[in-house]
Amino acid sequence: MRSLHDSWELGGITIPNRVVLAPLAGIGNWFVRLQAKRYGAGLAVSEMVSSFAIHYGNQKTHDELLRIDPREREAGVGGPVSIQLFGHDPEIMRSAAAHVATLGADLIDINMGCPVPKVMKTGAGAAMIKDPDLAVAVARAAREGSGLPVTVKLRASVKAGGMEGLELARRLVDEAGVAGITFHPRSAAVRHKGVPDYDLAAELVRELPVPVIVSGGMAGADHIRWVFEHTGCAAVMLARGALGNPWLFAQVLGERTAEPTPEEILEEWLWVIDRAEEHLGPDRAARYLRKFHPWYVERLGAPKSLQDALQRAETISEQRAALLLSCAPFAPVQA
Ligand SMILES: Cc1cc2nc3c(=O)[nH]c(=O)nc-3n(C[C@H](O)[C@H](O)[C@H](O)COP(=O)(O)O)c2cc1C
């Protein structure tokens, strides 16, 4: 009987289990990946990073988006770090991938699924599905440039009802030598709406000689385990279901069934605030965290007045104070 706890091989790298954190733009930095690992994720993928920004030496890209923290490999079950790149130019991709390899990434993932018009307009993301020759050249360049195993994350199609992503996946394996495919069985046209076509994912799993990770609709531990069984995939990838909800990793792995207590949620929230401060310094962290707060407010069932106070607060100390005031009954005892 297959288990989500089983280790597996991806391009010669051992992944300690079959539950993966998805790439999440503007979110999936080192501490979000570290958080997922603390709760059991076997592999965590970075947010998408522009191959052009890397090639042209953008400092912020280097210092923030490409930061890999040693704790990521020590937390939970350990496991590798994959950096996701996007871009439509094979030579730029070759150079960016080579640079990422020098920073200590274990794997490189290439984004061929992003449906955002700003990205597709440049020929990157899901637009690559329409240009399979270029897609193959980009993936091959990343592999040759980095010397690392390369995976590609792609969708079923560009327009609703299509399935040209399957043919591209086959070509990426045969002609570009990619080590694995992450398949999001929705079209780019529907973005993140609707039920993913898990039968199509099962078909791809059966056909490809490399591991397939399935992404899409991963909410609720029972459903996620069902997708693993139904598709026969190598691993499942958690995305929106895990936002502000790292407990989902432990639940999917069967290590806990209970929902987090208010005390646990508050402790985790404060951990995130501390890590954001460590990452960006107090001023920028306060702004950055505005995206994170709503997930924890909702999970805690805290009042809207707390949400408003957090979004208004200019500094991270004001945010901590608002939080501790509103959540006093659950707050850790101050030493
Ligand atoms: C806020 C957000 C950011 C995302 N950023 C990326 C990204 O950088 N790269 C990528 O390949 N997919 C990205 N995705 C897609 C997710 O990785 C995942 O495939 C998608 O959300 C479907 O999974 P779900 O239905 O379980 O959320 C993003 C999705 C969301 C909601």
Residues 214 and 289 in one domain: no
Atom of ligand 1 nearest to the CA of 86: 9
Phi and psi, residue 219, nearest 5°: -130, 135
Asked if the structure places residue 87 within a domain, the reply is: yes
114 is catalytic: yes
> Which residue's C-alpha comes closest to atom 12 of ligand 1?
23
CA distance 329 to 225: 35
Query: How far does the centroid of ligand 1 lie from the alpha carbon of residue 239, in Å?
Result: 6
Asked if the structure places residue 299 within a domain, the reply is: yes
Evaluate if residue 240 carries a pLDDT over 70: yes
Asked if the structure places residue 335 within a domain, the reply is: no
Give residue-wise pLDDT tens across range 70-113.
999 987 778 899 999 999 999 999 999 999 999 999 999 999 99
Mean pLDDT of the chain: 95
What is the pLDDT confidence band of residue 334, given thresholds at 50, 70 and 90?
Answer: low
User: Which residues pair with residue 180 across a beta bridge?
Assistant: 151
Q: Is 224 in the pocket of ligand 1 (CB under 6 A)?
A: no
Residues 277 and 303 in one domain: yes
Give residue-wise pLDDT tens across range 120-179.
999 999 999 999 999 999 999 999 999 999 999 999 999 999 999 999 999 999 999 999
- How many domains would you assign to the chain? 2
Asked if the structure places residue 257 within a domain, the reply is: no
What is the share, in percent, of the chain residues with pLDDT greater than 90?
A: 93
Q: Which of 198, 221, 252 is the last residue of a domain?
A: 252
Residues 37 and 168 in one domain: yes
Number of neighbouring beta carbons within 10 Å of residue 312: 11
Evaluate if residue 4 carries a pLDDT over 60: yes
pLDDT, mean of residues 299-324: 93
CA distance 109 to 151: 5
Q: Which domain holds residue 304?
A: 262-330
Residues 150 and 270 in one domain: no
Residues 230 and 307 in one domain: no
What's the pLDDT at 220? 95
Evaluate if residue 275 carries a pLDDT over 80: yes
pLDDT, mean of residues 181-204: 96
Residues 57 and 184 in one domain: yes
Asked if the structure places residue 121 within a domain, the reply is: yes
Query: How far does the centroid of ligand 1 lie from the alpha carbon of residue 61, in Å?
Result: 19
Q: Which of 223, 252, 281 is the last residue of a domain?
A: 252
Q: Which of 191, 224, 252 is the last residue of a domain?
A: 252
This prediction has a pTM of 0.96
What's the pLDDT at 328? 80
Number of neighbouring beta carbons within 10 Å of residue 281: 11
What's the pLDDT at 1? 84
Query: How far does the centroid of ligand 1 lie from the alpha carbon of residue 314, in Å?
Result: 29
> Which residue's C-alpha comes closest to atom 1 of ligand 1?
24
What's the pLDDT at 326? 86
* Three-state secondary structure call for residue 200: helix
Query: Tokens for 173?
Result: 């394996």
Element (H, E) at 214: strand 212-215
CB 247 within 8 A of CB 290: no
Asked if the structure places residue 1 within a domain, the reply is: no
Residues 29 and 152 in one domain: yes
Asked if the structure places residue 182 within a domain, the reply is: yes
Query: How far does the centroid of ligand 1 lie from the alpha carbon of residue 206, in Å?
Result: 24
Residue at 138: amino acid letter:
V
What's the pLDDT at 42? 96
User: What number of H helices and E strands is found in the chain?
Assistant: 14, 10
Residues 140 and 214 in one domain: yes
Q: Which of 22, 49, 92, 114 is catalytic?
A: 114
What's the pLDDT at 333? 63
Residues 146 and 272 in one domain: no
Residues 233 and 269 in one domain: no
Q: Establish how many alpha carbons lie within 13 A of residue 257's alpha carbon, considering only the half-sphere containing its beta carbon.
A: 1
Residues 31 and 106 in one domain: yes
Atom of ligand 1 nearest to the CA of 240: 27
What is the share, in percent, of the chain residues with pLDDT greater than 70?
A: 99
Residues 153 and 296 in one domain: no
Q: Is 68 in the pocket of ligand 1 (CB under 6 A)?
A: no
Q: Is 150 in the pocket of ligand 1 (CB under 6 A)?
A: no
Q: Is 153 in the pocket of ligand 1 (CB under 6 A)?
A: yes
The domain that contains 118 carries what CATH number? 3.20.20.70
